[in-house]
Amino acid sequence: MVGEEHVPMIPSAPSKAWSAEVNGQFREVLAPSNAILLDVLRDKAGCLGVKRGCDMGTCGCCTVMIDGVPRLSCLTMAHEVSGREITTVEGLANGSHLAPIQQCFADHGGSQCGFCTPGFLVASQALLNNNPCPTEKEIACAIEGNLCRCTGYQQIVQSIQAAAAIHRGEADAVVSNNAAHSDPHPSGPEM
């Protein structure tokens, strides 16, 4: 109604400083005291690789590592993990060289439309960091919270097995294509 003041349904929470080591870099930002980690990473820390899928803990797209442990960032209060070490998909590569898990997803068809891929990569890397020789059952267990509509999962499992072989030193960095690539759009996409 004209002249009527808009009253938000949920009052906004006061902002306070949030800091963490994100992909090896100290980050400090202001975030509402009730902010969700997914929002802080995407909107404040610029980690757009962290995907919002279901926003309710069922798809795994938003998976990040917190102190090396995979967690769903859509179900994590940001201030609860202030001061911790957070790794998103952006933190897996070594500069412009893909990590073995990323290269293997590309080489073995583990990524198709790609929307689920950041969550799978982070969950898989967390597994390989602790277990470079996972069985198929252990792989299935590690990715059971991640959903993919495209691949049928078999290529994802094969990608993880191939990356595990590289971690064990049994495969030459399969990495046929893993030469450093320059950013094809250094100024962002053309509008």
Q: Give the footprint of ligand FES on this chain (CB under 6 A).
A: 52-55, 57-62, 72, 74, 111-117, 148-151
Q: How far is the CB of 98 from ligand FES (least distance, A)?
A: 17
The packing angle between helices 117-130 and 100-107, to 10°, is 130
Q: What is the dihedral of CA 153, 159, 162, 168, to 10 degrees?
A: -100
SS3 label, residue 86: strand
State which residue, 106 or 171, has the beta carbon closest to ligand FES: 106
Residue keyed to tokens 């799978």: 120
SS3 label, residue 36: strand
Q: How far is the CB of 1 from ligand FES (least distance, A)?
A: 36
Q: How far is the CB of 71 from ligand FES (least distance, A)?
A: 10
State which residue, 23 or 111, has the beta carbon closest to ligand FES: 111
Q: How far is the CB of 186 from ligand FES (least distance, A)?
A: 26
CB atoms within 10 A of CB 131: 14
Q: Two tokens at 166?
A: 């590289």
State which residue, 62 or 164, has the beta carbon closest to ligand FES: 62
Q: Two tokens at 96?
A: 């412009």
Q: Two tokens at 160?
A: 């993880």
Of all helices (H) and strands (E), which one includes residue 64?
strand 63-66
**CA of 176: how far to CAs of 48, 80, 92, in Å?**
27, 41, 18
State which residue, 57 or 68, has the beta carbon closest to ligand FES: 57
Q: How far is the CB of 51 from ligand FES (least distance, A)?
A: 7
State which residue, 16 or 149, has the beta carbon closest to ligand FES: 149
Q: How far is the CB of 190 from ligand FES (least distance, A)?
A: 25
State which residue, 151 or 178, has the beta carbon closest to ligand FES: 151
